[in-house]
Structure 1
Amino acid sequence: MSGSKINVAKQAIEFLHRKLSSEMILGIGTGTTVNFFIEELKAFKHLFKGAVSSSERSTALLKEAGIIVYDLNNIREIAFYIDGADEVADDKSLIKGGGGAHTREKIVASASDHFICIVDESKLVKQLGEFPLPIEVIPESRSLVSRKIVSMGGTPIYRQSFITDQGNQIIDVKGLDLSDSLKMEKSLNSIAGVVDNGIFAINKPKTVFVA
């Protein structure tokens, strides 16, 4: 498995390295595949300005690699956003958030010109929904959101002993009908107390590399 993740990280580097420029900012996602990408990116750090990170974990790895990390509030343009996924459907919609960072991942992805997804082939599915769907919630709203999800046909499971970088909680949901993932992404985010969910259908990747 790690071999596939290294290979797909190298595919992304091969695609990117000739496009890098001295003033370019990259967006960097979160997860084990992205960790390999950061390791590969280290050799090219002199070719671009720096990065915006989607999590404290990735920030630490980028700094260890000698890559300057910028606050998104101080950046006008992100050329490329590179991230993994827990599921990738045929239409390039995704489920993300197994690591609990999907809210910030979605923010950085939406600020980027070109979203690149890097996965091993085990993440490819016809339709989203086998992987539990993470939903970040304000702590005080967890029970309310869970009841709403049950009424929608889902089974919510509280991710115990986990706090997001924003100080919130995660509910992992099975059983929802994700055949219209765009509609479900919007519906879930309309529930009071939901910060964001792990469906990436509004903002799908432009490019998917698979190994």
Structure 2
Amino acid sequence: MAAPASETPTNQDAEKRHAAATALGWVRSGMVLGLGSGSTSAAFITLLGEKVQAGELQIQATATSRASEALARQLGIPLLEPRQGLRFDLTVDGADELDAQLRLIKGGGGALLREKVLETASDYLLILADSSKYVAQLGRFPLPLEVVPFALPWVLDAVEALGGAPIVRPNAQQPDGLYRSDQGNLLVDCHFNVIADPAQLALQLQAIPGIVEHGLFLGMAQAAVVAQGARALVVRAGMPDAEAEGFAELP
């Protein structure tokens, strides 16, 4: 009997798992890992958990969202609480969009603040993506903002002035009908369509009071693994894309 449509693996699912498996090949026992959020990160966490359960890897980790933390705990991955001095050898996360310069849009799953906190405390950030996420220019995917509820009206005014066409993210399961982050903040999705100058936009958003964090991750990732069918490419800023199978260690 065929699986229900919702459970049938897609090419995109296969690419996510391929990217995750490639990254797992560079994880070494003794590492302290940051675990990202979203479906591609979930594929990595699942494969990592299998290695931990089999006794093939001994690692410790901290997750960027409650959902990823719950999955890691379910799979028996040892978890560390945030503390002063804690740094991560490697954080593995997904992206909603990335370009050839490793500029990222992240936060489609609403975990952008915790993601940026962990990834700033990481010695190496590796991004995993299926082929649909690798773009020539950022902006088609809505840029998420995490916003303090009190400041929402003024944040919307300021983002509209920047041409961002902001929409407060809904969540029908909440009493007020609004999506909230793990920190209880609101999510606003900005529709710029094309972000010609990500660095300039990041500065403009940082200057708006009430925006806790924005989803532009610039100058943070060392490399990305982009799965394209059966291929896995390593993307690094300022360097030609290369076949991932040519790297025995982190690129």
The alignment's TM-score, normalised by the length of structure 2, stands at: 0.79
- 2:102 alignment partner, one of 92, 99, 109: 92
- Identify, as 1 or 2, the structure richer in helix: 1
Amino acid of the structure 1 residue aligned with 2:186: Q
Deviation for aligned residue 1:14: 1.4
Deviation for aligned residue 1:169: 0.1
Aligned to 1:129: 139
> Counterparts of 1:123 and 1:34 in 2: how far apart (Å)?
14
Instruction: Tell whether the 8 Å contact from 1:84 to 1:119 is kept in structure 2 after alignment.
Output: yes
Deviation for aligned residue 1:70: 1.1
Deviation for aligned residue 1:183: 2.0
Mapped pair 1:6 → 2:17 = yes
Identity %: 36
The count of residues paired between Structure 1 and Structure 2 equals 206
> Counterparts of 1:155 and 1:173 in 2: how far apart (Å)?
6
Amino acid of the structure 1 residue aligned with 2:60: G
Aligned to 1:60: 70
Structure 1 residues without counterparts, runs of 5 or longer: none
> Counterparts of 1:156 and 1:123 in 2: how far apart (Å)?
22
Larger Rg belongs to:
2
Aligned to 2:183: 166
Deviation for aligned residue 1:74: 5.0
Mapped pair 1:107 → 2:123 = no
> Counterparts of 2:195 and 2:82 in 1: how far apart (Å)?
31
- 2:161 alignment partner, one of 151, 160, 167: 151
> Counterparts of 1:158 and 1:49 in 2: how far apart (Å)?
38
Deviation for aligned residue 1:124: 0.7
Structure 2 residues without counterparts, runs of 5 or longer: 1-11, 171-177, 228-251
Aligned to 1:83: 93
Instruction: Tell whether the 8 Å contact from 1:152 to 1:176 is kept in structure 2 after alignment.
Output: no
> Counterparts of 1:39 and 1:159 in 2: how far apart (Å)?
28
Aligned to 1:35: 42
Instruction: Tell whether the 8 Å contact from 2:99 to 2:138 is kept in structure 1 after alignment.
Output: yes
Aligned to 1:199: 216
